[in-house]
Every structure is written in C-alpha cells, then in structure tokens.
Structure 1
Amino acid sequence: MNYLRTELPAALLYALGAAALILSQHAMVFLAFHALGMPLALDDAFWLFPIRQLAMLPDMSPFVAIGAFAFCLGISGALALLSLRRAERLGRGGGLALGAMIPTLQIFAVLLLALLWPRREATETRRADDPAPPYRLAMGIFAGTTLIVVAVAVSAVTTGAYGWGLFVATPFLVGLITGFLVNRGRVRSVNETAGAVAAAGVLGTFALLMLALEGLMCIVLIVPLAGGLAMIGGVIGRAAAKRLIDPRQPFYSVVLLPVIFLLDAAMPPELPIATRAAITIDAPPEAVWASLTADRPVRDKPGLVGLAGLAYPVAAHIAGEGVGAHRHGKFSTGTADERVTVWQPGRALAFRVVRQPPAMEEMSPYRKLQTPHLVGYFDTGETRFDLQPLPGGRTRLSVRAGHVLRIDPALYWGPIARWAIGKNVGRVLRDIRHDAEGRQRAGLAAHSRHGKSYAQLAD
C-alpha cells in the first residue's frame, strides 16, 4: 500500500507536466493564427498534430516557421527529459521516452509511460549490477536526434547552406556524440553502439518529417552517405568513451558546425554539368521537327526518376515561332518559363530557362516545406537540339544541355544529378523518336491511300 501511495502521485505529476508541455504547442499555434488574423479549425488534426496547421499555411513567413519549429523542438526536448526521468523510475520505457520527442507520437508515448508500473525487481537489479542504466542509452540517442534537427534547422532553413557541414560533418558528429554517450559508464558492443546510432538517425528523420524541415525522398537520397559517416563516428565515439576522462571533450567539436555552415553559405559550390546525347530516328527532319515543336505530352514513363521524386518533363508548349518565342516546359514539379534562342526549322532548336520549377517533389504530410534546396540549388541553362539528315530518310537528333549544381559534396551529389539528367534526356529523345516515326508512318499510310484513290479514278 505504501508503494501504491508513492507511485500514483509520481505518475500523476508526470502526466500533468507532460500534458502541459504538449498543450503548450496547441496554445502556440492558436496564438500564431490569432496574430496572423487567420481562422483556425479546431478539428481532430489540430489536436493530434498542431504544428501541421501552421505549416499548411500557403504564405507563412520563414521567421514564423523557424520560431514555431524552435518552440516545438524545445518542447520535444523537455518532454524527452521528463520522460527519461519517468523511464528511469520505472526501470523500463526508454524507447517510449524517445518517442516523446516526435510530434503526435508524443501523445501516445506519454500516455503509455503514465500508465506503466515500475518493475521493482528489475530496477533493483539494474542499480546493483549496471553502472550505466538504460536511460543513458536513451540519452545518447536523444542527443543524436536533437543534433540532427538543430543542424538542419540552422544550416538549411537559417543559412540556406547545403554542403559539407550538413551532409558530412553533421552525420559524423551525430554518430560521435551518440556513440560516446551510450558507452559512458559501461562500454557496449559495436553492434549495440551501431543500433543506438541508427535509432538516433531514424528518430531524427521522423522529427524532420513531422516538423516540415525535410521531405522523405531527400532523406532517402542522403542515407548512403550520412549513414556510413554516422557509423564511423559511432565507432570513434565508442573508442573515445573508453579513454577520455573529461566527458565534455567530444562536444567541443559541435561548436565547429556553425562555422562550417557559414563557410558553406559564403562559398557555395557551382558544379557545371554538360550533357550530350543523340538518337537515330527513322523519319526525315521535317517529321522530327514537327514532333520537337508540337504541343503534346511526353508519353514515356519517368521510371526511377519519378519514383525518387525528382523533376521530370511532362509536356511542352511553344507560343509563337522564331527567336524570342515563349516555351513552357511542364515538369512534374511545375512549369518552366523558357525563351527560344535558336529557331531553324528542320535544323536546330535551342531555348534558355528563365524561371524553373523545384528540382524535386518531396513526400510529406505538409503542403509547404521549409526546404530551400528545392529551388535555386539546381539550375538549367540552355538546351539545344540539332537535326542532321541521314541517308534513307532518317535523322540523327542530338541534344546538348547545361546545368549547374550548387550542393556539396559534389563527389556524391554530382553522379546523382548526372544520372537524373541523363534519364530525363534519354526519355525525351525516345519520346520524340516514337512520335516522329508515328507521324512518318501515318503520312506514308495517308499517301498510300491517296495513291490508290487516284489510281482507281484513272481506271
């Protein structure tokens, strides 16, 4: 009975404190809508996912977004710390405590932690035999998760820097910090350390998605590089935990991150990508030109490029003729505004992109993401098509396209960009070939029918 009297107040205090923290997010969204003079629907989505209501606003100021994300991150940190204390008292529930970091999931994690009962025997055994209780493992994962969210918010949203700091230094430091903390007090195995680093990465990914700081496809694209660097950092952090006495030393390196972010923003990369491709078409230049300038959709499927969420051409429309004519290139992510720079019917067509749509379409529950990399970090310059007549009424259609990539490390992102460009260019060439050859066959069939009609009249 005495045990019951001490546990019920502790569970009640935790539930009330956690509920107050969770509801503070609803209050923040309500006040933000009131300040912006916008109507707020107090529906189920609001109570389960309040920050989503704010992120769904079409013209939300980036300062409002950053402030809201910072507030939610602070609340998530406070909830995680409160839940970790609860988990320590219970002798279990470390995973639920980490779940308290993630919007929406935190509601259910807190509810379960409040209802769980302490395992007295397990707690006593742990305190007697394990100098590094399970909550320390959770603390290491929590630190890695927080570093991911803070780094993306500072580098991408605040400085607009997508480079070495975000894609190389950050995942390495996430692994280093997580690996160091989970091995303090008791050195764990390499597999346990790798599992903790992976857990930090997964929770960080969920947090980025829920806070509208990133979309799923961008995260998927960076996983091979970031995952490998994080695991290397985790191994080094584990080794450091066995040798270092001062627990603050690994954290000194985190101070370098803002400096690297500023350097990335001050000296953005510019990797020019020149693409050349050609295809032989069983149709004369006139038919190929008609297909090249026709107002029609691209019928070939986008393949892996579309599956990855990268932009791919959907259709094209040319308003007018000659140099200076407007060409509207419709992509999966929007419409590109283009100007014709070369117009030589049956011989050459070139156009320059004046305004282009986002480079990719993110998978996210939000209408608008705070992801600057979607616009301005991958630009298309001039694209030129040349038509060369070949014997037998055929045509060689060649294309030259210029692009600029402004994301580091170029050694990683460059091949991905070249692959996507090559797939898109090849798809367009194949579509022109199919259309031009179809036009040629239709023309020959019509000519054959007319020839038969004339022959019958002559008879």
Structure 2
Amino acid sequence: MVTLRQLVSPKGQVPRARYLRVGLSLFLFKYVVDLVVYRGLFGDWWGPLDYLSPLYSQRMASAPDALDLPIAYAAFLLLWNLIFAWIGANWTARRAVDAGETPWWGLMIFVPFLNYLAIGVLALMPSTPKGEAPPVPGGSAAAFQLPVLLVWGMTFFLAMACLYWTIVEMNEHYGIALFLSFPVLFGVLIGYSLNAREFQSVGRTVGFSLLCAVAASVILLSASLEGLVCIAMAFPVISLGLMVGALIGRSFVGMGARRPLQPLGMLFALPFIAWSDANLPTSEARQVTSSIEIDAPPEVVWENVVSFPTLPDPTSWIFKTGIAYPIGARIEGRGVGAVRRCEFSTGAFVEPITVWDAPRHLAFDVLDQPETMTEWGLFGPVHPPHLESTFRSVRGEFRLVELPGGRTRLEGSTWYELDMAPEVYWRIWGDGVVQHIHGRVLGHIQAISEASSE
C-alpha cells in the first residue's frame, strides 16, 4: 500500500516493478473516478482510447459533451490533472534516480508522446547501487533577496516574450503550452534554483514562485505586451502551474538533481505542444442561456427584443474593466433575412435573422463582431491578438414563453467558440461574461416592456 506522502516525497527508491505497479494502479484509479463522475453528470462514457490520448486538449475534445461541463467540475478537472501530473513527475524522477539516471527525466511527463516513451524506457531499466541521493540540508532565506527576485522576474519575462512570439504570433493560439506547460517548466527551474544551495520550506518555495509571477506580470505590463485585465484573468492558472513546478523542482533537489541546464532543452518541446494544440479540431460552440420573467404580454416584449433603445451606462463591475457591453439594438427589415445590429461599446454585432416567429422565437447568426474588450496597460491601450481571435460569438436566439396573467418568460441564448486552452479554465470567464451581457440586455428589455404596458 502506497500513501500519498510516499507519492509526493522525494525520498525512497522506486524499482521498475513497483514503478509499473503503482503507476498502473494510479492510472486505473484516476480513470475510474473520472469515468464515474462523468457518467453520473452526463450519462455517457469516456472511452479508454480517447482518455489515453497524450494531448490533454484532444482528450477533452474527444469526451462527449466536453464543453457542457459544469463550472465546478471544470475547475475540479484542472486541479485534479495537475495533482496527478505532479505525482507522475515525482514518481518518474525517483524511478530515474533508482536506475542511475538524472531526476530531470521526470519532466518528460509533461511532453506529449515523449511521456509514454519515457515511461516505457524507465520500466525496462534495472536498478543500480547508486539509486538514491541524499537531500540537500539547510534552510536559509537568502534566496529571497530583491536582486534574486528581479533576476528571476526578468528571466521569466524574456522567456515568456520568446515563447509568446513563437506560440501566439506564429500559431495564433493561446493554449496549454503558454498557460500550463511553460509555467510548470519554469516553476521547476525556480524551485530547483531556490533550493539547490539551501533546502527551503514548502511555503517559502511556493511563495517565491508567486513573487516571480507578480514580477513577470509587472514587466509584461510595462512592456505593453498584455493588459491588466488579461493578466489578471491568466494569473490564477499560470500561478498554479508555477507553484506545482516549483514543488517538483524542490523535490528534484532532494533527489540529488544536478546540471540545471539539462531541463532547458524541454523549452524546445513547447512549440511542438503549442502546434499540437493549435491544430486540433475546433470545439463545438458552447451554449449559455439566461432567462427573466416580465410583467408584459409576449406581443409587447417581442417589439423590444427585435430592437431596443440605448441602454443606460453599466453599473456592473465587470464592464468597468473594459469588457465590451451592449448599448442598443436596431434592425433593418422584417422577417427572415433582415439584419439586426446589436451595438456594443467596442462596435456592432451584425446579426442576419434566421428564424422570425413573432412573438415566440427570434434567432440569428453572427456575421461580424467587434473586439471583445478595450484593454489597457500601464501607459495606455494595448492590442494583443486575442482581442480579435479567441472568443467568437456564432449565433443567438430569444424565446418568449407566455405565462398566466399576461406575463412572459424571456429566454436569451448565445452560442460561442473559445480558442483558448485549457478550455475548462477559460470557459469560467467566457460563461461569466456572456451571462453578465445577458443580464444587462434582458433587464433592459424587462424595464422598457413593463413601462410600455402600464
């Protein structure tokens, strides 16, 4: 029986038979938990071949209704997978040490296809007498000096800038490599460097990785590569990757890891990971629906759905950040083929009507859309590529349901595509923004409909 402490500890030899036995048991345990939870939520199965795909995004895209995961379950999936990645890296590094190799082998777990190759090779390598190296003793806080923080922040910025250009500018994709793989890898280097001379506590290691994330964020803002809101949105997932990586790097020190330049070769794998994510099939559009009950008959509500006058200035905090918000709507023509223009703070959505069933159902496609937000840096507006390409509204509809007493339930739905990964994280933001937009529009229609029916 293996305890959780043994799984995450850097101490102890891991012979190949134990490596295979524990690894297979952990895989089966994780698969069964994922399968049971998913089956309970959606009544469908996650096929083992899809589940074994080395690409995380492909596994999620292959799962039935992958984009309909509840927000709480999506957050659980992200944390759940990072925990098992940490255990896998630690267990693989200890197996490598037992086989007389460097603990840096543990980083192979994060590289698609190479992870299975590394597991296969280590499963065949016999143990050697020099299996375990003693941990580095000590506990100095010297590594927290400001110059060290600045050096790491600058290094993180330079590496992120190069990776940003390679991944975003060439592939036009914000994915796993940028938001998870790179932070984990750089976190490993941070954790290793911090603990190499004097072994630090877990809290100090995690805290220093977060300070590096803050320093890098300030530098990105100062260089106008990204805006404040975008960095704030990405900070939780990037920080999580940095913390996991830093703890892995700390464990590698305890295993006797040397030659810190070796893992830098893993940087060459990041463009491959980015290319793999960018060339996956586009996920199906996700539907977000909101509703409101209005004290007015459907005939009155319908006219205010088709077009409505200018909305008052927004009061919701989310629209104060620069995220685009609706201002008004007008329509050119009547019936199917008419064109509705929904004006936002950044421009207009052009919406050709596809269903006109007055006063019950109005549906439309989205032919053109403005930028998703006005983003600001420290020295004025910035214009990163994701403002135009990562969030796409594809269609929408309004359904009016007549209620007793001359009332109406108005349901508004939006279908959108999200070209960012991990989707289970970015969907939390996407759904939240769409729901706030729905609330602003539906609330305005409610107010003017009830006022006109009095």
Alpha-carbon contact 1:277-1:399 (below 8 Å) kept: yes
Could you tell me how far apart the structure 2 residues matched to 1:369 and 1:386 are?
38
Q: 1:345 to 1:137 in 2, by over 3 A?
A: closer
- Mapped pair 1:145 → 2:171: no
Q: 1:175 aligns with which of 187, 190, 195?
A: 187
Counterpart of 2:299? 286
Counterpart of 2:288? 275
Q: 1:343 to 1:251 in 2, by over 3 A?
A: same
- Mapped pair 1:395 → 2:387: no
- Alignment-mate amino acid for residue 260 of structure 1: I
Could you tell me how far apart the structure 1 residues matched to 2:197 and 2:243 are?
21
Q: Does the residue aligned with 1:337 lie in a helix, a strand or coil?
A: strand
Aligned positions, number:
313
Counterpart of 1:350? 363
Shift of 1:367: 6.1
Identity of aligned residues (%): 33
- Mapped pair 1:260 → 2:273: yes
Shift of 1:353: 0.9
Counterpart of 1:247? 260
- Alignment-mate amino acid for residue 434 of structure 2: I
Q: Does the residue aligned with 2:351 lie in a helix, a strand or coil?
A: strand
Could you tell me how far apart the structure 1 residues matched to 2:364 and 2:279 are?
31
Shift of 1:308: 4.4
Counterpart of 2:339? 326
Could you tell me how far apart the structure 2 residues matched to 1:370 and 1:299 are?
27
Could you tell me how far apart the structure 2 residues matched to 1:244 and 1:392 are?
74
Shift of 1:219: 0.9
Q: 1:416 aligns with which of 421, 429, 432?
A: 429
Q: 1:139 to 1:366 in 2, by over 3 A?
A: closer
Shift of 1:137: 6.1
Counterpart of 1:232? 244
Shift of 1:307: 3.6
Over residues 303-324 of structure 1, what are the superposed CA-to-partner deviations in whole Å (9 max), with x where a residue is unaligned? 1431444332221121232222
Shift of 1:181: 2.2
Shift of 1:268: 5.8
Counterpart of 1:4? none
Could you tell me how far apart the structure 1 residues matched to 2:290 and 2:149 are?
53
Q: 1:303 to 1:320 in 2, by over 3 A?
A: same
Could you tell me how far apart the structure 1 residues matched to 2:299 and 2:445 are?
12
Q: 1:379 aligns with which of 374, 392, 395?
A: 392
Q: 1:270 to 1:308 in 2, by over 3 A?
A: farther
Q: 1:245 to 1:149 in 2, by over 3 A?
A: same
Q: 1:133 to 1:366 in 2, by over 3 A?
A: closer
- Mapped pair 1:199 → 2:205: no
- Alignment-mate amino acid for residue 250 of structure 2: R
Q: Of Structure 1 and Structure 2, which has the larger fraction of its residues in helix?
A: 1
Q: 1:213 to 1:136 in 2, by over 3 A?
A: closer
Alpha-carbon contact 2:149-2:212 (below 8 Å) kept: no
Alpha-carbon contact 1:271-1:410 (below 8 Å) kept: no
- Alignment-mate amino acid for residue 228 of structure 2: L
- Alignment-mate amino acid for residue 252 of structure 2: A
Shift of 1:440: 0.7
**TM, length-normalised to structure 1:** 0.62
Could you tell me how far apart the structure 1 residues matched to 2:381 and 2:171 are?
19
Q: 1:227 to 1:130 in 2, by over 3 A?
A: closer
Task: Name the structure, 1 or 2, with higher relative contact order (CA <8 Å, separation 6+).
Answer: 2
Q: 1:240 to 1:137 in 2, by over 3 A?
A: farther
Alpha-carbon contact 1:140-1:196 (below 8 Å) kept: no
Alpha-carbon contact 1:318-1:325 (below 8 Å) kept: yes
Q: Does the residue aligned with 1:359 lie in a helix, a strand or coil?
A: coil
Alpha-carbon contact 2:349-2:366 (below 8 Å) kept: yes
For the aligned residues, what is the CA RMSD? 2.7
Could you tell me how far apart the structure 1 residues matched to 2:202 and 2:288 are?
44
Over residues 233-285 of structure 1, what are the superposed CA-to-partner deviations in whole Å (9 max), with x where a residue is unaligned? 11222232342122222323222111112112222642521123332211122
**Which shows bigger deviation, 260-269 or 359-368?**
359-368
- Alignment-mate amino acid for residue 364 of structure 1: G
Alpha-carbon contact 1:300-1:431 (below 8 Å) kept: no
Counterpart of 1:341? 354
Unaligned 5+ runs, structure 1: 1-128, 442-459
Counterpart of 1:222? 234
Shift of 1:420: 1.9
Counterpart of 2:447? 434
Alpha-carbon contact 1:333-1:360 (below 8 Å) kept: yes
Counterpart of 2:417? 404
Shift of 1:157: 2.6
Counterpart of 1:15? none
Alpha-carbon contact 1:216-1:363 (below 8 Å) kept: yes
- Alignment-mate amino acid for residue 207 of structure 1: I
